[in-house]
């Protein structure tokens, strides 16, 4: 009889002992109530809880956690329907406040995040939802952190994961982007053609200018060459006349040689006289070289 009574007692004592000793891991928190009233928070390590009188009412992690927000239907400021989902990183700082301030903390946070996302998307146009995502993340972080502070929760980061417009809006956006690309391509083609025509016109103008300069330089060179030639011929004639005069003065017999030289010119002049207009008469003294030269010059001027 004593053996039978002792066995249940040992079982009861073992059960009470197991419920009395609590081991709390690092990064974990336990809340203990005594007779239905909050008493203390168990720290990491070994703790004792009085059986029947005390009980652990909540066991939560104090590490940073991730809250996955499902896609939410939103309306932008320009009345475009979009679906937005997000990821929220949060940490439980005050276990007691979170347990006694709100019932079902995670559900409350999901609803709060969805409400804030709808409010932020309603402030933006569709284009702004894609270009100001970082600003929206920062605004959501500030608002959620402030709203969850009474619950003992710290929101560390908020990231909008995906913004998906409706199918009709996507088709309209694709058509708009296609039109924009075609417009840019047409502008680039027209600018290329314009540049090509301008280059061709510049090339023709430069060619004409170069050709005109070349012709001008050729005329100048030709005129300079003729002028030099005439100057050299005149100088040569002057030198020849001067030397001939000096030779006649130094040697009287040179006059006879002069007559012989002029005879050739006389014969050539005769041929010109044969082809001259009617009435042309040459009066000259063959014995006078000076008179012959003067007559030949006058005849050449008449011809």
Residue 5: its pLDDT value, please?
47
Residue 155: its pLDDT value, please?
92
pLDDT in tens, 255-293: 666 666 666 666 666 666 666 555 555 555 555 555 555
Q: Are 32 and 57 in contact (CB under 8 A)?
A: yes
Q: Domain residue spans in the chain? A: 16-61, 64-165, 190-250, 251-268+285-303
Structure tokens at 152: 């003992």
Could you tell me the CA-to-CA distances from 295 to 35, 114, 129, 278, 300 in Å, in that order? 161, 127, 111, 17, 9
Mean pLDDT by 10 residues, the chain (303 residues): 50 56 76 85 77 82 89 87 91 89 88 91 86 90 91 92 77 73 85 86 87 86 85 78 69 64 64 60 53 54 52
The 10 Å Cβ neighbour count of residue 269 is: 20
Residue 272: its pLDDT value, please?
63
Residue 3: its pLDDT value, please?
46
Residue 34: its pLDDT value, please?
87
Structure tokens at 153: 């929760």
| Whole-angstrom distance, CA of residue 61 vs CA of residue 89 | 14
Residue carrying structure tokens 């709203």 = 147
Dihedral over Cα of 226, 232, 235, 237: its sign: negative
Residues ≥6 apart with Cβ < 8 Å to 124:
76, 77, 132, 136
| Whole-angstrom distance, CA of residue 228 vs CA of residue 184 | 64
The 10 Å Cβ neighbour count of residue 29 is: 21
Q: What is Dmax (Cα atoms) for the chain?
A: 194
Give Cα 303 to chain centroid, integer Å.
81
- CB-count exposure of residue 19 (10 Å: 0-12, 13-18, 19+): middle
| Whole-angstrom distance, CA of residue 297 vs CA of residue 126 | 104
Residue 141: its pLDDT value, please?
92
Instruction: For 64-165, give the CATH class.
Output: alpha beta
Residue 158: its pLDDT value, please?
92
Q: Are 57 and 37 in contact (CB under 8 A)?
A: no
- CB-count exposure of residue 159 (10 Å: 0-12, 13-18, 19+): middle
| Whole-angstrom distance, CA of residue 213 vs CA of residue 192 | 31
């Amino acid at each position: 009889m004593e053996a039978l009574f002792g066995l249940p007692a040992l079982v009861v004592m073992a059960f009470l002992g197991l419920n009395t000793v609590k081991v709390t891991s690092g990064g974990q928190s336990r809340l203990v109530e005594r007779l239905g009233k909050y008493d203390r928070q168990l720290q990491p390590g070994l703790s004792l809880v009085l059986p029947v009188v005390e009980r652990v009412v909540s066991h939560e992690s104090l590490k940073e956690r991730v809250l996955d927000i499902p896609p939410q239907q939103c309306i932008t400021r320009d009345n475009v329907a979009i679906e937005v989902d997000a990821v929220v990183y949060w940490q439980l700082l005050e276990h007691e406040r979170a347990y006694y301030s709100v019932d079902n903390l995670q559900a409350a946070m999901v609803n709060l995040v969805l409400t804030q996302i709808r409010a932020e998307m309603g402030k933006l146009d569709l284009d702004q939802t894609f270009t100001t995502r970082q600003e929206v993340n920062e605004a959501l972080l500030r608002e959620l952190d402030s709203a969850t502070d009474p619950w003992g929760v710290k929101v560390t980061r908020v990231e909008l994961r995906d913004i998906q417009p409706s199918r009709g809006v996507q088709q309209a956006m694709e058509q708009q982007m296609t039109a924009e690309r075609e417009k840019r391509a047409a502008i680039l083609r027209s600018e290329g053609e314009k540049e090509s025509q301008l280059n061709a016109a510049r090339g023709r103008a430069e060619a004409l200018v170069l050709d005109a300069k070349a012709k001008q330089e050729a005329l100048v060179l030709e005129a300079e060459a003729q002028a030099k030639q005439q100057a050299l011929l005149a100088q040569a004639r002057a030198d020849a006349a001067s030397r001939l005069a000096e030779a006649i003065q130094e040697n009287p017999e040179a006059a006879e040689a002069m007559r012989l030289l002029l005879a050739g010119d006389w014969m050539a002049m005769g041929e010109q006289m044969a082809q001259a207009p009617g009435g042309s008469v040459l009066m000259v003294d063959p014995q006078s070289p000076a008179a012959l030269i003067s007559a030949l010059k006058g005849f050449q001027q008449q011809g």
